[in-house]
């Protein structure tokens, strides 16, 4: 599927979510809830794991068996690896499968030794940890999916690794926000969605594709029982949910590009407001669609909450520069001053500001469409990295009310106030920007405007190498040779996109890998 050409704005009566164009499939969710920040997500996940009888499947960019899901429990909180090992020892039918991007050993914050050589927690025949090498050499497997007994699914922006846990307060000096070695971590904001019902079968098909492509094996069928967590009231009940994916072409397979058309169609459909939380805001293809939307006689308000600085020197250099260049390139189209970028800050004990890393990938259009997932608004997420998002389109008034409530809850978190204050400020002025300006106070937690100085407008030279839209042919030829030399073919089973290229990493000797 190729990226869409930008045409006329969608008519008011058209549905945004369209299988085959901007999503894989739409299915019903019996219940769905938005989990904001890792304290809520990880606590829910721990309870879900404790309920597992047959299967736990974890698909991620990174995984670290040392991290604790509930550090607030103190010394009684086990590491996630220890907990999973204990569960499989107690439950003879339980199997745990974990699939991690192969280059996590180089690029992620986890301990690379346990991914490469194994560890005591995963030295068990029913814990299957794999490194996924079935991707273009410079691509990342970026989906964040967890499933329990094929009955409960979690999809969003959070990996089960270090440097992810935080509370909604995002205190500058949170004593529990530390690495397994005790090093402090920066505040981080993220979002995940929990779902049950028929939509979980669609999530499983996405996980199945990735597991099969990486290992040549099938995920087993599991009898489905109710695994919803009784202590969590769902945000939504009995409504359609869409799954959107990105997967790059590889060895003759067909690329899947659904998340970018979803971005285009959501922006195009906006009537009054667009709220975005994004780790990156740099995709070159954002330029024409934002120019089109902002050039309307009555454009929608677009509020983007993103980090001031990216992680790492290269990302900070390229992503920061390209975000500023993108904003300059669309500034003339923003005749009504409707586009605003902010970064979230919290005060420390001395009154200095500490930035909150925005790692979430959220888009909310009007009161009609809510999207949560792994896809960034950068070039790579269009057609190079593997992504998975979920989206809800309102079909009745109570759904629209809930979408607005979630948006205002997110704004309230960044503004350090109660959601009712955001509701009141919105009711008074009818504007997200107006509400932010009324409720942001220096010296307190607030959203600080991102100011762009005059300068170049075109993408930074070399961007195509660091943040490409799709795989490079010459690089992939080298990658094929590299895989023949260092990786083994374990199965000739055709992968889920039609090619027989399932490879598995030689991670460790059998004694350290169990039956993997």
DSSP character string of 181-216: TS-B---EE-EEEEEESTHHHHHHHHHHHHHHHHHS
Q: What is the pLDDT of residue 21?
A: 96
Q: Assess contact for 276 and 305: CB atoms under 8 A.
A: yes
Q: What is the pLDDT of residue 354?
A: 95
The strand pair at 301-305 and 339-347 is best described as: parallel
Q: 375 near 387, Cβ under 8 Å?
A: yes
The candidate with the shortest Cα–Cα distance to 1, out of 201, 199, 214, 244, is: 244
- Which tokens belong to 181? 């070695």
- Quick one: pLDDT at residue 464? 62
C-alpha distances out from residue 443 to 212, 316, 346, 348, 353, Å: 51, 26, 8, 9, 8
Alpha helices in 281-418 (DSSP H): 286-294, 313-330, 380-383, 397-415
Counting Cα atoms < 13 Å in the Cβ hemisphere of 44 gives: 30
Encoded tokens for 451: 């100011």
Interatomic CA distance for residues 392 and 379, integer angstroms: 24
- The pLDDT of residue 321 is 72
Instruction: State whether the Cα torsion 508-513-515-516 is positive or negative.
Output: negative
Task: Summarize the chain as % helix, strand, coil (round to 5).
Answer: 30, 25, 45
- pLDDT in 10s for each residue of the chain, 516 residues: 444 444 444 445 589 999 999 999 999 999 999 999 999 999 999 999 999 999 999 999 999 999 999 999 998 899 999 999 999 999 999 999 999 998 877 767 776 667 766 788 999 999 999 999 888 878 899 999 999 999 999 999 999 999 999 999 999 999 999 999 899 999 999 999 999 999 999 999 999 999 999 999 999 999 888 999 999 999 999 999 999 999 998 877 889 999 999 999 999 999 999 999 999 999 999 999 999 999 999 999 999 999 987 665 556 656 667 788 888 889 989 999 999 999 999 999 888 999 999 999 999 999 999 999 999 999 999 999 999 999 999 989 999 999 999 999 999 999 999 999 999 999 998 899 999 999 998 778 999 998 877 766 666 665 566 667 778 766 666 666 666 665 544 433 344 443 333 333 333 322 233 322
What end-to-end distance do the CA atoms of the chain give, in Å?
A: 34
Q: What is the pTM of this model?
A: 0.89
Q: What long-range pairs does 174-183 form, CB within 8 A, spacing at least 24?
A: 176/71, 176/72, 178/71, 179/109, 180/64, 180/66, 180/67, 180/79, 180/111
**Alpha-helix residue ranges (DSSP H) falling in 15-135:** 38-51, 80-90, 104-107, 112-117
Q: pLDDT value at position 475?
A: 64
The sign of the CA dihedral 25, 27, 33, 38 is: negative
Sign, CA torsion 204/194/391/244: negative
pLDDT at 301: 97
Asked if 109 contacts 72 with a C-beta cutoff of 8 angstroms, the reply is: no
List the domains of the chain with CATH numbers.
32-240+472-508 (3.30.870.10), 247-465 (3.30.870.10)
pLDDT on residue 138: 82
CB atoms within 10 A of CB 204: 20
pLDDT at position 456 is: 64
Judge whether 235 and 406 are in contact, CB under 8 Å: yes
């Amino acid at each position: 599927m190729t990226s869409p050409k930008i045409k006329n704005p969608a008519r008011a009566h058209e549905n945004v979510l369209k299988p085959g164009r901007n999503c894989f499939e739409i299915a019903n969710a019996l219940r769905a809830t938005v989990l904001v920040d890792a304290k809520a997500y990880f606590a829910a996940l721990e309870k879900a794991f404790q309920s597992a009888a047959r299967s736990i499947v974890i698909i991620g960019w990174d995984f670290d068996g040392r991290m604790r899901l509930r550090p607030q429990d103190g010394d009684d909180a086990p590491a996630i690896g220890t907990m999973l090992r204990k569960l499989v020892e107690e439950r003879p039918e339980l199997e745990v499968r974990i699939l991690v991007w192969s280059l996590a050993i180089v690029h992620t914050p986890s301990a690379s030794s346990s991914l490469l050589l194994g560890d005591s927690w995963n030295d068990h025949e029913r814990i299957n940890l794999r490194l996924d090498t079935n991707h273009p050499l410079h691509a990342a497997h970026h989906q964040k999916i967890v499933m329990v007994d094929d009955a409960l699914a979690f999809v969003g922006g959070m990996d089960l690794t270090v440097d992810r846990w935080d509370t909604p307060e995002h205190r500058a000096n949170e004593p529990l926000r530390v690495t397994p070695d005790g090093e402090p971590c920066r505040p981080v904001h993220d979002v995940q969605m929990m779902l049950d019902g028929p939509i979980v079968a669609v999530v499983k098909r996405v996980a199945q594709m990735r597991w099969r492509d990486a290992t040549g094996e099938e995920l087993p069928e599991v009898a489905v029982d109710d695994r919803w967590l009784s202590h969590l009231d769902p945000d939504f009940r009995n409504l359609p949910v869409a799954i959107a994916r990105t997967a790059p072409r590889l060895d003759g397979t067909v690329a899947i590009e659904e998340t970018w058309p979803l971005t285009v169609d959501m922006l195009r459909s906006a009537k009054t407001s667009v709220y975005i939380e994004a780790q990156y805001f740099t995709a070159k293809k954002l330029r024409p669609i934002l120019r089109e939307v902002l050039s309307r006689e009555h454009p929608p308000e677009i509020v983007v909450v993103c980090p001031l600085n990216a992680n790492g020197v290269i990302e900070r250099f390229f992503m920061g520069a390209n975000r500023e260049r993108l904003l300059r390139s669309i500034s003339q189209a923003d005749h009504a001053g409707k586009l605003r970028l902010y970064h979230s800050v919290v005060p420390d004990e001395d009154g200095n500001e500490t930035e909150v890393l925005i790692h979430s990938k959220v888009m909310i259009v009007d009161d009609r469409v809510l999207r949560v997932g792994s896809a960034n608004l950068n070039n790579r997420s269009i057609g190079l990295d593997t992504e998975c998002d979920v989206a809800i389109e309102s079909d009745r008034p109570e759904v629209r009310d809930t979408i607005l409530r979630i948006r205002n809850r997110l704004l309230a978190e960044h503004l350090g106030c109660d959601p009712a204050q955001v509701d009141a400020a919105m009711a008074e002025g009818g504007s997200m920007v107006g509400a932010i300006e009324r409720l942001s106070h220096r010296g307190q937690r607030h959203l600080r405007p991102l100011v762009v100085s005059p300068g170049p407008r075109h993408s930074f030279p070399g961007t195509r190498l660091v943040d490409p839209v799709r795989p490079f042919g010459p690089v992939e030829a080298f990658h094929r040779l590299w895989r023949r030399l260092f990786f083994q073919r374990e199965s000739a089973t055709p992968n889920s996109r039609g090619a027989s290229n399932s490879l598995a990493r030689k991670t460790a000797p059998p004694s350290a890998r169990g039956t993997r």
